[in-house]
């Protein structure tokens, strides 16, 4: 006689099946295998896009075990083809080399990349004052470019140390490099002749034609004594394998630190503050406003537009500095960010500097009103903000991160007074904000660092700190941030390392995985497989628990009386 399962037990079976289904579906959805999005590093959080982004735990990038190590000036880029992250930085106390680090898992772990240096030019920060020592970018096809300056240590003690400009090119995401000269300085240099001192190089690539690669840097030296610093730009039209002679885009006053960007049409843009050449006799150069200008070239860097003023600048080396420029590859909007005081002349002993931004929607012909990004600017305290980095996500979100002293127990101090070398101390954090309306308004500031940074130790207080923007890169899912940090140091050894974290945003509806998510495919499969195993294990556990309670009858079990 066929035995039947009692109705009560059938109900328990249906209930158990539903719970198993819900549990398994939830796990699979969490893994991104059915609906939902992968729950791994680099993916966005859920909720309103205007909500505060979640910040991941800080991860150490550098792996140097030397107790007195000093890593500085990290810059960051994201591979658009697979979401890998790459950092370049320099150890400025012992090794003096520029080193590449790669992450294939959204920044959770890092490994060394290939060597960008060529013998004998193995030192990129042997006489460091401030950086950047190296910058980097990817082209749309995933080719990585790293621009840096370097010298032969043989001449390290020479008064006129020859510094050459190089570009390292990698077709495998930074694992191996081909390195070429951008500009070769005269060597050896026994007198002030030629452009022997070349530093702070920045690289930009033409996304409409990746064979066009540009490097801009500040050149010093030569017989042009009334123009001590020059804004130089060199162009390559073969993907960075060779470069033409550099063009000086500054006027008779010279210029500092030109910052390049290329818009979607292939137009090259450069911004730069004027230098201190041609200062009238008897004039204090530190009281001359360093106005910021923009120039552009539509023919690959051969000819240039007339200069257009971006900002009046500051008349002090404490403000109007470290400009960075980015171009939105969607609509060509230009974004210039820097730190400064709102007034041209100010007293840095009692007045602080903030993070400013201007934008241009007409190719640099006109610029918007200045916008303040840090949201503590109106507080009646002496709080300085430095070295913004700017990046633009594929969806047009503008990301900015900077060093910020708002949480310091005391105002930033200058042990050497208000004259060079401008040493700093105090405690600071890294802060972040973003704009989704073309830079007109900005989200509330978000603290990126999970521990405050002691600037009384490390290279920041010894005048070999970067004075360079916080490293930042963007995807639709988040802003990726790298900075230099003294958390592992003390007053005796003063170690400094590079750290990384992500400010995670919601992924746009309907976005695909892989490259758009910033997470490699292998990571998705790994997480999905783990979730499937977890789901099966949970199903077995629930089934066993229900059976132990006597809640499920088998087909051969007798009916209960």
Report the range of poorest mean pLDDT among 24-28, 122-126, 385-389, 478-482: 24-28
Question: How much is the pLDDT for 47?
Answer: 33
Write out the two tokens for 68.
């007195």
Q: Are residues 537 and 507 in the same domain?
A: no
Distances (CA, A) of 551 to 16, 20, 360, 545, 556: 10, 15, 70, 9, 15
- Is 3 part of a structural domain of the chain? yes
Q: Are residues 255 and 366 in the same domain?
A: yes
CB 141 within 8 A of CB 82: no
Position 15 pLDDT exceeds 90: no
Burial code of 170-193, b = ≥16 C-beta within 10 A, e = fewer? beebbeebebbebbebbbebeeee
* Integer Cα distance of 357 and 368 in angstroms: 9
Position 357 pLDDT exceeds 90: yes
DSSP string, 269-302: EEEEEB-STTPPTT--GGGS---EEEEEESSTTS
Write out the two tokens for 331.
């609509």
Question: How much is the pLDDT for 191?
Answer: 59
Phi, psi of 409 (to 5 degrees): -65, -15
* Integer Cα distance of 177 and 180 in angstroms: 10
Question: How much is the pLDDT for 171?
Answer: 99
Q: E strands, 59-163, where? A: 59-60, 71-78, 85-91, 98-103, 111-112, 134-138, 144-150
* Integer Cα distance of 537 and 542 in angstroms: 9
Contacts of 26 (CB under 8 A, 6+ apart): none
Contacts of 259 (CB under 8 A, 6+ apart): 202, 216, 270, 271, 272, 323, 324, 325, 336
What is the per-residue pLDDT across 401-447, written as a single tens digit (0 to 9) for each?
A: 999 999 999 877 766 666 555 556 789 999 999 999 999 999 999 99
| DSSP, res 41 | T
Q: How many domains does the chain have?
A: 2
Position 512 pLDDT exceeds 80: no
Query: Average pLDDT, stretch 463-472?
Result: 76
What is the per-residue pLDDT across 264-316, written as a single tens digit (0 to 9) for each?
A: 999 999 999 988 776 777 888 778 888 999 999 999 999 999 999 999 998 87
Q: Are residues 436 and 544 in the same domain?
A: no
Q: Are residues 29 and 76 in the same domain?
A: no
**Radius of gyration of the chain measured on its C-alpha atoms:** 27
Position 526 pLDDT exceeds 50: no
Q: Give the number of other CB atoms < 10 A from CB of residue 329.
A: 16
* Integer Cα distance of 59 and 74 in angstroms: 14
CB 100 within 8 A of CB 113: yes
- Is 101 part of a structural domain of the chain? yes
Position 377 pLDDT exceeds 70: yes
Q: Are residues 505 and 547 in the same domain?
A: no
* Integer Cα distance of 423 and 402 in angstroms: 18
Label residue 461 by pLDDT band (50, 70, 90).
low
Write out the two tokens for 449.
């660092």
Q: Are residues 367 and 445 in the same domain?
A: yes
Q: What pTM did the predictor assign? A: 0.81
Q: How many residues does the chain have?
A: 561
Phi, psi of 76 (to 5 degrees): -135, 140
Question: How much is the pLDDT for 465?
Answer: 55
- Is 100 part of a structural domain of the chain? yes
* Integer Cα distance of 244 and 193 in angstroms: 20
Q: Give the number of other CB atoms < 10 A from CB of residue 394.
A: 16
Listed in sequence order, the DSSP H helices in 416-520 are: 514-517
Q: E strands, 416-459, where? A: 427-435, 446-447, 453-454
Chain position carrying tokens 């590079």: 498
* Integer Cα distance of 329 and 211 in angstroms: 17
Q: Are residues 480 and 430 in the same domain?
A: yes
Three-state DSSP class for residue 132: coil
Report the range of poorest mean pLDDT among 337-346, 391-400, 548-557: 548-557
What is the per-residue pLDDT across 205-231, written as a single tens digit (0 to 9) for each?
A: 999 999 999 999 988 866 555 677 899
Structural domain that includes position 557: 1-40+533-561
CB 232 within 8 A of CB 183: yes
CB 277 within 8 A of CB 294: no
Query: In 3D, which of 240, 239, 507, 265 has the Cα closest to residue 364?
Result: 265
Query: In 3D, which of 503, 450, 452, 497 has the Cα closest to residue 476?
Result: 503
- Is 343 part of a structural domain of the chain? yes
Top-confidence residue, 252 or 241: 241
Question: Where residue 338 sits, what CATH number does that domain have?
Answer: 2.120.10.10
Write out the two tokens for 468.
């360079």
Question: How much is the pLDDT for 460?
Answer: 73
Q: Are residues 367 and 457 in the same domain?
A: yes
Question: How much is the pLDDT for 222?
Answer: 62
What is the per-residue pLDDT across 115-170, written as a single tens digit (0 to 9) for each?
A: 999 999 988 887 766 666 899 999 999 999 999 999 888 887 776 778 899 999 99
- Is 525 part of a structural domain of the chain? no
- Is 477 part of a structural domain of the chain? yes
Q: Are residues 16 and 127 in the same domain?
A: no
* Integer Cα distance of 248 and 216 in angstroms: 10
Position 14 pLDDT exceeds 60: no
The overall average pLDDT reported for the chain is 81
Q: Are residues 112 and 3 in the same domain?
A: no
Q: Are residues 210 and 275 in the same domain?
A: yes
Burial code of 439-478, b = ≥16 C-beta within 10 A, e = fewer? beebbebbebbeebbbbebbbbbbbbbbbbbbbbbbbbbb
- Is 49 part of a structural domain of the chain? no
Q: Percent of the chain, pLDDT > 70?
A: 73
- Is 338 part of a structural domain of the chain? yes
| DSSP, res 123 | B
Q: Are residues 423 and 543 in the same domain?
A: no
* Integer Cα distance of 411 and 401 in angstroms: 20
């Amino acid at each position: 006689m066929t035995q039947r399962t009692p109705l009560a037990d059938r109900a328990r079976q249906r209930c158990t099946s539903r719970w198993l289904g819900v549990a398994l579906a939830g796990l699979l959805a969490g893994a991104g295998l059915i609906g939902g999005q992968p729950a791994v590093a680099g993916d966005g959080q859920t909720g309103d896009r205007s909500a505060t982004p979640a910040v991941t735990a800080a991860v150490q990038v550098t792996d140097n075990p030397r107790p007195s190590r000093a890593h500085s000036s990290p810059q960051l880029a994201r591979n658009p083809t697979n979401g890998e992250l790459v950092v370049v930085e320099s150890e400025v106390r012992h090794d003096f080399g520029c080193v590449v680090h790669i992450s294939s898992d959204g920044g959770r772990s890092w490994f060394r990349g290939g060597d960008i240096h060529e013998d004998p030019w193995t030192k990129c920060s042997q006489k460091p004052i401030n950086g950047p020592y190296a910058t980097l970018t990817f082209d749309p096809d995933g080719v990585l470019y790293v621009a840096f300056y370097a010298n032969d240590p043989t001449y390290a003690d020479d008064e006129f140390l020859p510094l050459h400009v190089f570009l390292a090119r990698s077709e495998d995401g930074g694992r191996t490099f081909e390195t070429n000269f951008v500009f070769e300085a005269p060597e050896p240099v026994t007198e002030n002749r030629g452009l022997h001192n070349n530093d702070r190089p920045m690289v930009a690539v033409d996304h409409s034609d990746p064979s066009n690669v540009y490097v801009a840097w500040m050149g010093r030296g030569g017989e042009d004594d009334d123009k001590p610093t020059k804004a130089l730009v060199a162009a390559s039209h073969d993907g960075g394998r060779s470069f033409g002679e550099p063009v000086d885009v500054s006027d008779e006053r010279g210029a500092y630190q030109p910052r390049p960007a290329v818009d979607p049409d292939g137009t090259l843009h450069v911004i730069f503050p004027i230098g201190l050449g041609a200062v009238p006799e008897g004039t204090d150069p530190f009281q001359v406003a360093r106005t910021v200008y923009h120039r552009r070239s539509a023919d690959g860097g051969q000819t240039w537009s007339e200069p257009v003023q971006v900002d009046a600048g500051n008349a002090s080396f404490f403000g109007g500095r470290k400009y960075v420029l980015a171009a939105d590859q969607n609509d060509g909007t230009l974004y210039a960010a820097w730190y400064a005081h709102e007034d041209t002349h100010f007293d840095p002993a009692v007045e602080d500097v903030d993070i400013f931004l201007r934008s241009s929607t007409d190719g640099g012909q006109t610029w918007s009103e200045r916008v303040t990004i840090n949201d503590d600017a109106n507080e009646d305290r002496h709080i300085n903000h430095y070295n913004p980095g700017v990046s633009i996500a594929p969806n047009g979100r503008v990301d900015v991160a900077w060093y910020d002293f708002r949480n310091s127990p005391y105002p930033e101090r200058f042990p050497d007074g208000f004259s060079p070398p401008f040493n700093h101390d105090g405690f600071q954090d890294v802060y972040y904000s973003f704009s989704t309306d073309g830079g007109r308004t900005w989200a509330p500031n978000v603290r990126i660092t999970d521990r405050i940074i002691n600037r009384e130790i490390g290279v920041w207080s010894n005048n070999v700190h970067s004075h360079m923007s916080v490293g930042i890169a963007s995807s639709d899912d988040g802003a990726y941030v790298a900075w230099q940090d003294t958390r592992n140091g003390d007053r005796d050894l003063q170690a400094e390392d590079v750290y990384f974290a992500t400010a995670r945003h919601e992924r746009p509806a309907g976005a695909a995985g892989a490259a758009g998510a910033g997470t490699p495919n292998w990571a998705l499969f790994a997480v999905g497989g783990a979730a499937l195993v977890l789901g099966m294990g949970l199903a077995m556990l629930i089934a066993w628990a229900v059976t132990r309670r006597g809640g499920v009858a088998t087909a051969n079990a007798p009916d209960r009386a």
